[in-house]
């Protein structure tokens, strides 16, 4: 059962304007599974202060076989429901592309890719090991006029002892997106430490919620309880605000 009340909302994320990384579209990946849940979460995002929600289902070869034909109908259905229910928030969709041979093939064949904002494309890697294709994919996307954005670099533990590698990715022209919950204890202390350093050193371009389920949402609503982290985040500016 999903419990939520306005008095539990302690966090105002309106300074971000838009969320550009979440798994709210139903029944497409390991995120939300029903339209009802999606609508409930969209209402909560609005209460958190978001004006726009860009949904980014996983595209992962053999696991989450999404593409425009699965994502866009789901988006349209949710947009219709949001309109019917008079929820005043804008909903869009892109995707979170795992860097794998399938993404390489899509780029090689000039297939249309799901982007958001100013030709931004969200890409991610396995948590187990860095992709050997990362640099090539960044280069190839840029050659196609797309702007890669690497999801949650702070969560790749293989970079925790090699911070310079994250700087190298940025130097190659890839933007970086930090997960909001990485600034809490949610993914552990090591992730929090790197997340804080990335923010302090102005290396982060976007903040995403990466919300998949209730635990994520509840942690996000409590974010401002840690006033140090909340103040740090609010002292910086991010490209999120350019998406609204």
Burial label, 45 (beta-carbon count in 10 A; 0-12, 13-18, 19+): buried
Distance CA 35, CA 55 (A): 14
Q: Which residues contact 235 (CB under 8 A, 6 or more apart)?
A: none
> Closest distance between Fe ion and the C-beta of residue 1, in Å?
25
Distance CA 99, CA 113 (A): 13
CB-wise, 96 or 205, nearer to Fe ion? Answer: 96
CB-wise, 192 or 210, nearer to Fe ion? Answer: 210
Distance CA 37, CA 47 (A): 15
> Closest distance between Fe ion and the C-beta of residue 20, in Å?
11
Cβ-closest position to Fe ion: 210
> Closest distance between Fe ion and the C-beta of residue 207, in Å?
13
Which secondary-structure segment (H or E) carries 121?
Answer: strand 120-124
CB-wise, 98 or 166, nearer to Fe ion? Answer: 98
CB-wise, 129 or 143, nearer to Fe ion? Answer: 129
> Closest distance between Fe ion and the C-beta of residue 174, in Å?
16
CB-wise, 154 or 210, nearer to Fe ion? Answer: 210
- Residue whose token pair is 């294709």: 133
> Closest distance between Fe ion and the C-beta of residue 210, in Å?
4
Q: Which residues bind Fe ion (CB under 5 A)?
A: 96, 210
Distance CA 175, CA 171 (A): 9
DSSP state, 236?
A: S
Query: Is the Cα dihedral 14, 19, 25, 31 positive or negative?
Result: negative
């Amino acid at each position: 059962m999903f419990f939520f009340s306005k008095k539990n909302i302690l966090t105002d994320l309106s300074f971000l304007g838009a969320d550009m990384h979440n798994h709210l579209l139903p029944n497409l990946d390991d995120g939300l599974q029903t339209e009802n849940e999606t609508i409930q979460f969209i209402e909560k995002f609005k209460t958190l202060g978001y004006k726009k929600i860009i949904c980014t289902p996983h595209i992962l070869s053999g696991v989450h076989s999404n593409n425009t034909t699965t994502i866009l109908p789901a988006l349209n259905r949710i947009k219709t429901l949001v309109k019917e229910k008079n929820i005043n928030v804008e909903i869009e969709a892109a995707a979170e592309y795992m860097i794998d041979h399938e993404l390489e093939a899509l780029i090689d064949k000039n297939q249309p890719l799901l982007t958001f904002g100013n030709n931004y494309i969200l890409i991610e890697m396995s948590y187990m090991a860095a992709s050997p294709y990362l640099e090539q994919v960044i280069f190839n996307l840029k050659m196609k006029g797309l702007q890669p954005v690497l999801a949650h670099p702070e969560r790749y533990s293989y970079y925790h002892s090699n911070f310079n590698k994250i700087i190298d990715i940025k130097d190659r022209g890839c933007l970086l997106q930090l997960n909001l919950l990485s600034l809490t204890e949610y993914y552990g202390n090591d992730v929090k430490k790197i997340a804080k350093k990335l923010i302090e050193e102005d290396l982060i371009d976007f903040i995403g919620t990466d919300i998949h389920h209730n635990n994520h949402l509840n942690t996000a609503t409590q974010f401002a309880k840690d006033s140090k982290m909340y103040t740090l985040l609010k002292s910086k500016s991010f490209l999120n605000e350019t998406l609204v």
